[in-house]
Amino acid sequence: MANNDKQLMFTRNIGIMAHIDAGKTTTSERILFYTGLTHKIGETHDGTATMDWMAQEQERGITITSAATTCYWKYNNQQYKINLIDTPGHVDFTAEVERSLRVLDGAVATYCAVGGVQPQSETVWRQADKYNVPRLGYVNKMDRSGADYYDVLRQMKEVLGANPISLVCPIGSEETFKGIVDLIKMKAVIWHDETQGAEFEITDIPADMADEVEEWRGKLLEAVAEFDESLMEKYFEDPESLTEEEIMAAIRKGTLSMECTPVICGSSFKNKGVQTLLDYVCAFLPAPNDTPNIVGTNPATGEEEDRKPSEDAPTSALAFKIATDPYVGRLVFFRVYSGKVASGSYVYNTRSGKKERVSRLFQMNSNKQVPMEAIDAGDIGAGVGFKDIRTGDTLCDEEHPIVLESMSFPDPVIGIAVEPKSQADVDKLGIGLAKLAEEDPTFTVHTDEQSGQTVISGMGELHLDIIIDRLKREFKVECNQGKPQVNYKEAITKTVNLREVYKKQSGGRGKFADIIVNVGPVDEDFKQGGLQFVNEVKGGNIPKEFIPSVQKGFESAMKTGVLGGYPVDSLKVTLLDGSFHPVDSDQLSFEIAALNAYKSACVKAGPVLMEPIMKLEVVTPEENMGDVIGDLNKRRGQVEGMDETRSGARIVRAMVPLAEMFGYVTALRTITSGRATSSMEYDHHSPLSSTIAKTVLEEIKGRTDLV
């Protein structure tokens, strides 16, 4: 047992999270190289990165799926095991980051030394806050022109509200960047370019940097003293009396309690700084037994239970990703929180209530599998042989069932109609789409009732592009695709009171239900969306067993609105009164009455069409600024703020409807002669003006008379 705990102490489950192009994959590649997993360094821009193994990733030079890999690093004469997940930076694949953070214990937040804190850096930071993941900051690309380490620290403070503690001072910057001063050890580390940074020398601090180092060392000691009271006294007596061990222990304490983020810098591409990063991952980020016990609910009693990360505890694991491998079939990635999962054993799936046999287990090294006998508590692995499993399922011991919280994913915002080019491919298309939807929870497939078309929806144009590309390559299906459709929603603006009577008499037993309801917008404090159902029926005018049917009727009716058949996001229904017939009333009658009441109420309750609004950020040279803003105004955009970067470029932040943003990247290139870049993410849905709503509804032959 002691052995297992010891093992846990030296395990790190970490992810690398950042904005597009901050250098996540390049950093991961260097980690694999220095830990001896790869003998040749892969490059993203050549398409040879180990972690980006999908053909689409190699072509585009971006990460799409989170690749998991296991490597070993020696630190303080101890062998550490690092499970590393390289996450995507592109906003269309936010879900991948979300589910990776759910199962990680710590993360390395990477920033570009030139770009600083970018929009997606904020998104991933918020996601890490949501799952309480301690972070280590790494400022990459120190060798690029315009790199400014201290400015990134400032941005982390201002934009993210973080408390960054710099552990290093860079020696030189831009093309002269050659090493760092370690403020803990008070030594300079200089990397040699000739040996790809694998060799470095430790020397004294350069004389011309003495003042700067002094200043930042003072800031570090001051910050450290705050996390430990005993050090505080020592610090006040003599700041220099703090030993290296004490400083390290205090920083670790501050990092685990998420009070601070230690930051270092380097240039992964030039192989500088990655070894220091690995050392500090082992030093400051949590081991599985440093994190709080995982809490879940017992499905039988509904009470909360927790499981500690040890082998003796009953087994619990969370499936956080499903990938289809051409050779072994469906590969399920899971994190074991307690107990262990052994090859050939049975585990219980609490969602389906079935036992599943785990036929084989693997530890992943990017897309190569290393067979394992068992995966212990605190570790991440992959298994095959599961019949029925989805993302977010809990696998546990049948005697001690537990449901770990599943993950919530954002709704898709954009859809396109697809049809196979030949009739023979119809079945293949269905199978392919079903497999992809199983892998990716933000991708949905549905058939449009009116036109009979298959519509696929996802998080953005790139997301759907890749789905269609995967259909072509993996499932050999050629598709024709329609023009992109925006996922509108509907809402109502007024509260309506009405009575709905449903009766049918056709000889024999009839149907009868009578309900009086208020239908209107949800209360302001009701945040979770969906149906807010309030039952105010007194004295058994409607029997208790029929009330859920009324609720169910409204819930299913919300999927189609009255204007154009778009879903209604939120609705408040108050059931006031009603009556029933002792013979003719049944559950179905009340369900149908609720459906009819919904249709009648929504027509009167001032229905509006809601469209998705995107948060856009454009980085443009000053001279093109006017044209960019003029173009956004044409697209019904609202400019919310402008900033200036150090290099003189302007950052424009705006809210723009998605409907106006198709093909924006191409238009932006044309306006600025290819000098501007943009990134956007979904923000919220907002009501459309009646003239535009009419145009939208005319296209789909919806009810234009109501807007």
What Rg, from alpha-carbon coordinates, does the chain have? Answer: 29
**Per-residue pLDDT tens over the stretch 129-182:** 888 889 999 998 888 888 888 999 998 888 888 899 999 999 887 788 888 888
**676-693 tens-digit pLDDT:** 878 777 888 999 988 989
Task: Give the separation between CA 650 and CA 676, rounded to whole angstroms.
Answer: 10
pLDDT the model gives residue 53? 46
Task: Quote the pLDDT of residue 330.
Answer: 76
For the entire predicted model, the pTM comes to: 0.71
Q: CA-to-CA distance for 585 and 591, rounded, in angstroms?
A: 11
Are the C-beta atoms of 659 and 486 separated by less than 8 Å? Answer: yes
Token readout for 132 is: 């309480």
Residue range 263-318, pLDDT digits in tens:
999 888 877 888 888 889 999 999 888 888 888 888 888 788 888 888 888 889 98
Three-state DSSP string of 347-358: EEECCCCEEEEC
CA distance 563 to 699: 12
Instruction: Answer with the residue of higher pLDDT: 44 or 656.
Output: 656
| Backbone torsion region of residue 180, taken as left when φ is above 0, otherwise alpha when ψ lies between -120 and 50, otherwise beta | beta
Instruction: List pLDDT tens digits, range 413-447.
Output: 788 888 888 888 888 888 888 888 877 778 889 88
Share of the chain above pLDDT 70, in %: 89
Average pLDDT of the chain is: 83
Model confidence pLDDT, tens digit, residues 378-415 = 888 888 888 888 777 888 888 888 888 766 677 787 88
Task: Report whether pLDDT(14) > 50.
Answer: yes
User: How far apart are the C-alpha atoms of 310 and 296, rounded to whole Å?
Assistant: 16
d(Cα 359, Cα 352) in Å, to the nearest integer? 19
pLDDT of residue 261: 92
**Of 570, 491, 574, 573, the residue nearest 529 (C-alpha):** 570
E-strand ranges in 327-399 read: 329-338, 340-342, 346-349, 354-357, 360-365, 368-372, 374-376, 380-384, 394-396
What Å distances lie between residue 116 and 94, 271, 334, CA to CA?
Answer: 20, 20, 33
Please choose, from the candidates 59, 302, 288, 265, the residue with its C-alpha nearest in 3D space to the C-alpha of residue 167.
Answer: 265
DSSP for 21-53, please give it: TSSHHHHHHHHHHHTTS-SS---TTTT--SS--
Confidence of residue 539 (pLDDT cuts 50, 70, 90): confident
Reply yes or no on whether the pLDDT at 60 is more than 60: no
pLDDT band at 376 (very low <50, low <70, confident <90, very high): confident
Give me the pLDDT at residue 118, please.
Answer: 77
Give the percent of the chain with pLDDT over 90. Answer: 16
pLDDT band at 47 (very low <50, low <70, confident <90, very high): low
C-alpha–C-alpha distance, residues 702 and 705, integer Å: 9
**Cβ atoms of 548 and 556 closer than 8 Å:** no
